[in-house]
Amino acid sequence: MSRDRTILTLGVALHAIFFALMLAEVEPFHTFFYLFAWWTFIPVIGAINRLKTGDSLVLGDGSRFFWMASCSVVVWLFFESWNFHLQNWLYHGIVEITWLRWLGYTVSFATVIPAVLETDLLLGNLRVGRRLTGPALNVTPRFLYACVTVGFIMMFLVVLLPDYCFPLLWVGIVFILDPVLHHYDPSASFLGQARRGDYQRLARMMLAGLVCGVLWEFWNFWSAAKWVYSIPLLNFWRVFEMPVFGFLGFMPFALEC
């Protein structure tokens, strides 16, 4: 427990120091503040979780954390490949040295899944969404096939009509992957949980996505190396660099984690 308290205290202190150095435009903290922010925040919430329950997804099991971080890089590269077609966000202020730029990308992308899952665990420990139940969903094989079909139709529409259907990218993957997960492990899938009338994890993951989304955009706003958005139809009312309606996309994205 003393180790977790040390991690918590050190993480908060370093985060404050890095923020001050960023404001003073001291390098590399000015350019890469986003990375310093996340890699101090993730251990902090991990330490909070361990202090509450003794368990954390990012502390105590190096192989599990490495696996999550590696999957995170692969998953976000998948969305980056879609962005070549959509051009919904562009990077500004990135370093010109190729190896350093890609190191920055990799370290940045590695934070996504650990951040979302550890935040979900924290919300669960805080009993957020506890006892959130509703009507049981009738999940039949035909229903699962229909979900997958709808998911592929959504992805096709993103390709066919990107200016109008780009939000479907963040939803379509859920329609495809969750039925597949239900096939192999029904209890772990959102559909399997909805089949029991249990919507706690669904709501909690969406809230975790929104929390992380706000932090992504807040810390990105302060970094010299950052992304900026160019979203068709909805490119207005910005909060940090994100058009306000864009924050809705973080909720279904979290379900893909």
- What is the spatial distance between Cα 9 and Cα 99, in angstroms, rounded to a whole number? 33
Residue with tokens 């180790």: 3
First to last CA, the chain: 29
Parts of the chain with a pLDDT under 70: 1
Q: Is the dihedral of CA 222, 227, 233, 234 positive or negative?
A: negative
Residue spans per domain, the chain: 2-130+213-252, 133-198
Q: Is pTM beyond 0.85 here? A: yes
Residues 120-156 have pLDDT tens digits of: 999 999 888 777 788 888 889 999 999 999 999 999 9
The per-residue pLDDT for 112 is 95
The per-residue pLDDT for 47 is 94
Q: How many CB atoms lie within 10 A of CB 85?
A: 12
Residues 42-58 have pLDDT tens digits of: 999 999 999 988 889 98
Phi-psi group of 117: left, alpha or beta (phi > 0 → left; psi -120 to 50 → alpha; rest → beta): alpha
Gyration radius of the chain over CA positions: 19
Q: 49 vs 74, 134, 218, CA distance in Å?
A: 26, 28, 23
Residues in the chain: 257
The per-residue pLDDT for 1 is 63
144: tokens are 């699962």
Residue with tokens 């404050």: 16
Do residues 191 and 179 lie in contact, with contact meaning Cβ atoms separated by under 8 Å?
Answer: yes
The per-residue pLDDT for 210 is 95
- What is the spatial distance between Cα 34 and Cα 205, in angstroms, rounded to a whole number? 22
